[in-house]
Chains A and B, each alone.
Chain A
Amino acid sequence: MTLDYLMTLSIFAGINIMLALSLNILIGFAGQVSLGHAAFFGIGAYTSAVLTVNLGLNYWFALPLSVLISGFIGFLLGLPSLRVKHDFLVLATIGINFVVVSIFNYVQFFGGPYGIVGIPRPSLFGKTFDTFGYFIYTMVWLILSVVFVIYLSKVYLRYGFEAVKEDEEAAESIGVSVPRYKMYAFTISGAMAGLAGNLWAHYMGVIFPENFAFPVSITILTMVVLGGVGTITGPIIGAVIITLLPEILRFVQNYRMLIYGTIIVLVMLFMPEGLMGYIRKVIKR
């Protein structure tokens, strides 16, 4: 149990929290259930990796570009949501996840199944980040993201999301543009997941298509659902639990997906509002 290990774990937790929060913007705020969130994560990671490794760009150029591009692709991938709802959107997003992963897998430019290796760590003032530096760097982004999400939940945008989530026809009838808010949600969520992907890629130094496959989407969904859909503390707690669980219970490593699945089923059966919703209910009572 060294300090390095703890910091690495915190970096992973931080990235997971950002992923969970970004998915929560879609599901919890705007009511658009996406099961392809790992695709956004992957697009952020791959964009940054391609920019720095294949094109030799500086990290600080690649960072905003990768966030912008994943936001833009989030916008594009959000287009189906204008036509399809609920279950159908879920199917479409699952499909998107598979298509994106197979593009990573089959297009030589993205390295195929061997992925992209040698992704550089960022450096600041001529000093390359070591684990501690990267830990601080991730935490800065994490805090910025949390602040951003809290801000998002307070401004007018949130009410627009809420209206879209509750009833699209009713929202339209009072002059809330449903397509616009859906696209906002997908773009913001995509950009945030892209940022998480960027941080992941530059910490790991190597990425494979498998890192962004469908099971990862399920893991992210588990974090959000476990913590409580629509809250802000919920996804954070959920992400921390899911990150720490395999570490604390080393022996469960082998049963990980079984446990995730069971957690999802049990949480949905007995406290569909998640941990935070449940705690809130208990306090109110």
Chain B
Amino acid sequence: MILNSMVLGSVYVLMAVGLTLIYGVLKILHIAHAGVYTLGALIALWIFEKTGNITIAFILSLILSGMVGVLMYSGIYKKVLKKSRIVPLVISIGMFVALQDLFRLIWGPYKKSFQVDLGIPEIITEDMVVTQSQILILIVTAISLLVMYFLMVKTKWGKALRACSDDLDMTASLGVNIERTISFGFFFGSVLAALAGILVGIYDNSVYPTMGEVPSYKAFIVIVLGGFGSLRGAVLAGFILAFAENFLVAWKGFLLPRDAIAFLIMIAILMFKPEGLFGGISR
């Protein structure tokens, strides 16, 4: 169960980190992020079916999804940033709904199997089995978190991005190209979302147009828990939520399914500790 929670938590973290990057800079609830998640999985499966090479599928899908993320920013969000806050929010919902239906029309409404032989040995001990896809998820998440840490702390891009989430106008006046920085944030965030989508697709062995629905709200629960805009908080909260869900579900007699539990946790946090478990941006 601990293993399952770790795997689930990894997926939440990947989703939530991308969202946190975007929320931190633009203060937009980017609901269409889950569209990118599904897109990533669908493209990866499509390329995998065409070429039979999972590495190519991964790389191409991540790049394409990242570009879609950038397009969402430069094509749509950029134009409405100065309007009242409900506008980008409603647009984001509209985009998510439209994307999801578009996927259904292109790829069909059915669940498709995503069967890959990853060539990783399974770990089988007396009391537990770690499957290929679980190992893959854990390793990939660890690597991407390390990469993200490196990017955010060591590179110019990451520093600029963090500066932007502190104060957008101030950063711009200090001569940072915020356009490019925000696009970078969207690119990187979308890549992480697509990555989560592909991993879940392989793990569940199914990819379908509405697969993004529940994770999208889950990711928001995670950023609420973690304190908005705080990356470290998002990482911790992702794992906490996964553990809490799994243990509550395992605890017999709890009436509601796991998604409802997650939402109840979120509502409770919003009610009693709106700044999240780990502080973050105070608003």
Interface, chain A (partner B; CB < 8 A): 27, 33, 35, 79-80, 83-88, 90-92, 94-96, 98-99, 102-103, 105-107, 214-215, 218, 221-222, 225, 229, 254-258, 260-265, 268-269, 272
Contacts and interface: CB of A to CB of B under 8 A. Distances in A.
Given A99-B256, A261-B96, A80 B101 contact: no
A95 B266 contact: yes
B1 interface: no
Grouping DSSP codes into helix (H, G, I), strand (E, B) and loop, the A interface class, with mixed when no group exceeds half, is helix
A139 B102 CA distance: 37
Interface residues of B, number: 43
A264 B264 contact: no
Contact of A91 (B80, B90, B99, B266): B266
Contacts of B95: 261, 265
B267 A272 contact: no
Contacts of B267: 80, 92, 95-96, 99
B29 A87 contact: yes
A265 B192 CA distance: 24
A96 B260 CA distance: 9
Contacts, number: 129
A91 B255 CA distance: 23
A105 B259 CA distance: 12
Interface stretch (B39-47, B81-89, B144-152): B81-89
Contacts of A85: 283
B274 interface: yes
A269 B98 contact: no
B270 A225 contact: no
Interface string B244-283: 0000000000011101100110110011101000000001
A91 B85 CA distance: 14
A84 B272 CA distance: 10
A79 B256 contact: no
A269 B96 contact: no
A90 B84 CA distance: 15
A73 B264 CA distance: 16
Given A80-B270, A258-B102, A265-B76, A90 B89 contact: yes
A265 B95 CA distance: 7
A101 to B, nearest CB: 9
Given A91-B220, A103-B260, A268 B87 contact: yes
Given A106-B256, A106-B257, A269-B79, A257 B97 contact: yes
A91 B101 contact: no
Contacts of A106: 255-257, 260
B263 A95 contact: yes
A79 B29 contact: no
B2 interface: no
Contacts of B102: 258
B91 A265 contact: yes
Contact of B29 (A91, A95, A258): A91
Contacts of A86: 85
B29 A90 contact: yes
A221 B93 contact: yes
Enumerate the 7 nearest inter-chain pairs by beta-carbon distance, A residue then B residue, closest first: A261-B98, A264-B94, A261-B97, A258-B101, A95-B263, A257-B101, A102-B260
Contacts of B27: 87
A24 to B, nearest CB: 13
Given A106-B255, A261-B97, A262-B98, A272 B83 contact: yes
Contacts of B79: 269
B183 interface: no
Contacts of A255: 101, 105
Nearest to A215: B97
Contacts of A105: 257
Contact of A87 (B85, B99, B213, B263): B85
Given A257-B97, A257-B98, A261-B95, A98 B217 contact: yes
